[in-house]
Amino acid sequence: MATSVDRFRELLRIPTISHADETLTDWARFSEFEAALERLYPATHEHLTREVIDSHSLLYRWPGVTSIEPLVLMAHIDVVPVVESEWTHAPFGAEIIGEGAQAEIHGRGTIDDKGSLVAIFEAVEQLCAEGYVPQRDIYLAFGHNEEIAGSGAQALVAELRERGIRPALVLDEGGAVVQDVVPGVTVPTAMVGVAERGVMTVLLTASEGGGHASTPPAMPATARLARAIDRLRRRPFPTRLASPVRAMLTTLAPHAPQPLRGLFGSLGVTGPLVAAAFSRFGPEMNAIVRTTAVATELSGAPGENVLATSARASVNVRLLTGDSVASATQRVRRVINDPNVDVTVRHGSDPSPVSPWRGEAWRRISSAVSTSLGDEIVTTPYLQLGASDSRWFTAISDHVYRFTPFHLTRAERDALHSHNERIRVEVWLRGIGFYRALIEAS
């Protein structure tokens, strides 16, 4: 008889890769994935209704005693592409490496995000098989293109809104159970995202007349562009503590040693000092205390001996809570300070609203963490650094949270969107218990 791990591995082997150019996406794999879910989880598909939205996104409804204030559990079906030669084990082989508590499943999607998706199905399947009826309606919402556009999640939100559904709690991927992330804090912490940063892409363009590379002008377009990029690097956005970060540090203050305990507990006075210090503790800590901007794509002349008539750079900007697309654009122009460099916003979205870290919805999450993952774990608010499909759900709910119920090491987190993505079997199985506890607390 197939086990939870067997089912997980089978679904990991289906390469539901999304591409920015959707003509490259193999949609047959997504259909294969949908069919596999139906076959592997018969009780779920007997008790829940399923709809296909926007071609390949999935919406399940589990009727409860009441339909008001439902719970929405989210994940996404797609995964990012792989460079197979960089992997130690086949990226879609779902091999189990090691034994006992150290056994790991290697494969694209183990954490981002089939780990959560399949754990949700496992929890629901168990409860359906036991004849469980939830107190409130439960929706399972699985977008098919979170990694590229999120149109699936937007269509799911539009469908729920049209039906007048306003969830009491929405939970998507996000922070995990971690240790030694916040300086001085060694207790395991469940980082629950109460907001996420905004994201925008700014296009910088420097132009000139062109010509032969043997007779370059004093300031060719490529040099002008390079100067603009370097000005952005040398004058980063200012540091500050956004409200979710202040809440995180206040929550963790009792678990930090002195003098950090005093610093975290007196942020009204020490906030600027703490923010400045965090910016020096590596990329992750820097990203929670400032809006970041980095050049990611460069283009210039079509040949090595030709002057570029137009040199371009894409700058990826991640907006801290409190900043906006408009304010960030204004600052980029001011810092570059060159009328011959055109600054255009290609696309962008402001930071999400902040969900409360008090009240019934928060209590349900923290209770599920303690019940299933360990009562020694401190549940804390957190500012999500990356974008997720959950940002679209803030249009229909004031209680949108981002948490992946797995205890992840630094190396495991670093493998997201990189090679050798993996999760420990024991850790993944505990995550099933979290979703079950959250459903039963609803």
User: What's the pLDDT tens digit per position in 383-421?
Assistant: 999 889 999 999 999 999 999 999 999 999 999 899 999
Structure-token pair, residue 100 = 């006992």
Q: What is the pLDDT of residue 101?
A: 81
- Tell me the residue type at 318: R
Bridge partners of 160? none
Q: For residue 381, which of 198, 175, 108 has the smallest C-alpha distance?
A: 175
If we measure between CA atoms, which residue out of 308, 309, 306, 304 comes closest to residue 212? 306
Does the pLDDT at position 350 exceed 90? yes
Q: For tokens 């608010």, what's the residue?
A: 381
Place of tokens 């206040």: 250
Q: Work out the average pLDDT over 356-372.
A: 97
Q: Residue 190 in contact with residue 402, Cβ under 8 Å?
A: no
The model's pLDDT over 93-129, given as tens digits with 9 standing for 90+, comes to 999 999 988 899 999 999 999 999 999 999 999 999 9
Dihedral-angle region of residue 59 (phi above 0 means left; psi in -120 to 50 means alpha; beta otherwise):
beta
pLDDT computed for residue 149 by the predictor: 79
Backbone angles phi, psi at 84, to 5 degrees: -60, -35
Task: Compute the distance between CA of residue 441 and CA of residue 64 in angstroms, rounded to an integer.
Answer: 13
Give the pLDDT of residue 216.
87
Give me the torsion for CA of 242, 248, 253, 254, rounded to 10°: 160
Cα gap 171→399, rounded to integer Å: 9
Closest CA to 397 of 156, 85, 98: 156
CB 109 within 8 A of CB 79: yes
Residue 74 has φ and ψ, to the nearest 5°, of -115, 155
Is a pLDDT exceeding 80 seen at residue 343? yes
Predicted TM-score (pTM) of the model is 0.94
Instruction: For residue range 22-78, list pLDDT tens digits in order.
Output: 899 999 999 999 999 999 999 999 999 999 999 999 999 999 999 999 999 999 999
pLDDT tens digits, 177-205: 999 999 899 999 999 999 999 999 999 99
